[in-house]
Amino acid sequence: MSDNTHQNPQPVPFRGGGFRPQRIRGVGLAVFILLIAFVEWGTRVGFISNLTLPRPSAVFATFQDLIETGMLWKHLLPSLSRLAVGAALGVTVGVGVGVLIGLFSLIRAGLVPLVAALFPIPKIALLPLFVIWFGIDEGSKYALIALGTFTPTVVATYGAVDNVDRTLIRMGQSFGLGWFSIVRKIVLPGALPGILSGLRVSIAIGIILLVAAEMLGAQYGIGAYILEAGSLYDLERLFAGVVILSGLGVLTSGLIGWIERRVLAWRV
């Protein structure tokens, strides 16, 4: 080997790194603030006309007004109770049916096509039907939200049951565990991560349907409030309503995240 191969050592060029999402705090908030500040500046300068977008400070003032007059609760509480009752119904039945589909081939064969047929129907189209069936009051709204949360919950649940590690079930059988024990101690805990991530989607759909139902027939509720503001072209109030809905979405998603962190601490 000649001598000059040993001269001029060069560092090996680095080619790794990247392709790994990292958690960066505060950026999300900064984007929000920048966007709002830009709109505020634009509306003040007149670069954005107040027919295009309301001034954020005016929306904020409207929101404060809502709180002070107590109208916020008057609208928010019925909405929350509709969402809670409807989603609780839909999710409970959905998880139950999903587990049954996951466990029994006969039920799977019978119900999977039915769920597939129900899933793509825009549930809001059925509201007139529900009004006849369950009455114009709360009943039809509960039914609408329940049906809307039911289908995604069923699909997520039986998918989650299908994905439970079969070797764990084999293990349970090999130790002579009973059928109910296997379901309760192996299948259900194993399906929980999938069920909870399905719940995120279901609740978001529930909120959308809640607003839709309230727009079609309610005196109080976020949806009714937004509809009224929209028909008067009161952009400040409309945006105040939208902010409440966004807040509701962030809140429920945060709640599910909190449950996941507590219940699924065993996940790798």
Partner 1 sequence: MQLTLDAVSHRYADVTVLSDISLTIPEGQIVCIVGPSGCGKSTLLRFLGGLERPDQGQVLQNGPVPQGCLNPLTYVFQDFALLPWRDVAGNVSLVLEDHGIRGTKAAAVIDDVLARTKLSDFRAALPKQLSGGMKQRVAIARALAVNPAVMLMDEPLSALDAQTRELLMDDLIALWTRAPFTAVYVTHNLSEAVRLGHKIVVLSRRPGTIREIVEIDIPLTERHAGDPVLETHQARLWQLMREEAEAADKELGHV
Q: Which residues bind partner 1 (CB under 8 A)?
A: 167-168, 170-178, 181, 185-186, 189-190, 265-268
Smallest distance, partner 1 to C-beta of residue 260, A: 13
Alpha carbon separation from 74 to 60, 195, 219 (Å, rounded): 18, 33, 10
Q: Which is nearer to partner 1, 97 or 183 (CB)?
A: 183
- Smallest distance, partner 1 to C-beta of residue 184, A: 10
The residues near 148 (Cβ < 8 Å, ≥ 6 apart) are 86, 90, 123, 205, 206, 208, 209
19 versus 266: smaller Cβ distance to partner 1: 266
Q: Which is nearer to partner 1, 106 or 265 (CB)?
A: 265
Phi first, then psi, for residue 134 (nearest 5°) are -115, 5
Please report how close the Cβ of residue 82 comes to partner 1 at its closest, in angstroms.
34
Alpha-carbon gap, residue 180 to 182, rounded angstroms: 5
Residue 220 DSSP symbol: S
Backbone angles phi, psi at 26, to 5 degrees: 85, -20
In the complex with partner 1, which residue's Cβ is closer, 25 or 267?
Answer: 267
Q: At its nearest, how many Å lie between partner 1 and the CB of residue 239? A: 44
